[in-house]
Amino acid sequence: NAGVTQTPKFQVLKTGQSMTLQCAQDMNHEYMSWYRQDPGMGLRLIHYSVGAGITDQGEVPNGYNVSRSTTEDFPLRLLSAAPSQTSVYFCASGLAGGRGETQYFGPGTRLLVL
Amino acid sequence: AQTVTQSQPEMSVQEAETVTLSCTYDTSESNYYLFWYKQPPSRQMILVIRQEAYKQQNATENRFSVNFQKAAKSFSLKISDSQLGDTAMYFCAFMKGYSGAGSYQLTFGKGTKLSVIP
């Protein structure tokens, strides 16, 4: 199993550009989510999904879009990048049994918006 | 809404010594789970230990153990026999314990940076 994979590892964008951060998992997990990590802020939830076709907003959703057409993939789209979106982005997945199942994290994508 | 507070932004410990990282949380939920995650310089998030709130027994994983005080809403992590590889950011996290809307989400504290000194 590859676990949770994310691409790219690092990206530089100019303000106003759009891009998609890719996330895939091969563990057949229902739950997938995106977090951003900023210095001194911990990890904050952007969007999450409990299955194909089902998505919802987290704590900091503005400026980001998601969709989930398959169980395996959960891409995060930045529609018009802003410097405030400079961050490290983590994708995570886990079973959705409501029993505190372990969530597995990808290696992260570092994004720099100039 | 849940909140998780880690009051120690940075800590250091001598190799082979014991260190305790603090975490408090606030919730109105009765069923929940608590976690400690480790983030080494590689940035990979690694689960260290998990505690079920309905269990009074403190969780242990080798050199890692927790002191879970449910009434005080406290969940500290003790690392025994500290090793250089324990140098990392440590995050405390909360998850509701039921299926449904708002479940499965992890609420994180801001982290404690631990340095193990040779």
> What pLDDT is recorded for position A59?
92
Residue A3 touches chain B, beta carbons under 8 Å:
no
Contact B106 A92 (CB under 8 A): yes
- Say what percent of chain A tops pLDDT 70: 100
Pair of tokens at residue A50 = 């409990």
Q: Which of A43, A88, A98 sits opposite B103 (nearest CB)?
A: A98
Q: Å from B12 to nearest chain A CA?
A: 18
Per-residue tens of pLDDT for chain B, all 118 residues: 889 999 999 999 999 999 999 999 999 988 999 999 999 999 999 999 999 999 989 999 999 999 999 999 999 999 999 999 999 999 999 998 877 766 788 999 999 999 999 9
Residue A96 C-alpha from the chain's centroid: 17
C-beta of residue B102 within 8 angstroms of C-beta of residue B42: no
> What pLDDT is recorded for position B101?
66
Q: Which of A40, A58, A108 sits opposite B105 (nearest CB)?
A: A58
pLDDT band at A98 (very low <50, low <70, confident <90, very high): confident
Q: Å from B98 to nearest chain A CA?
A: 4
> What pLDDT is recorded for position B116?
98
Residue B95 C-alpha from the chain's centroid: 12
In which residue are the tokens 């940076």 written? B113
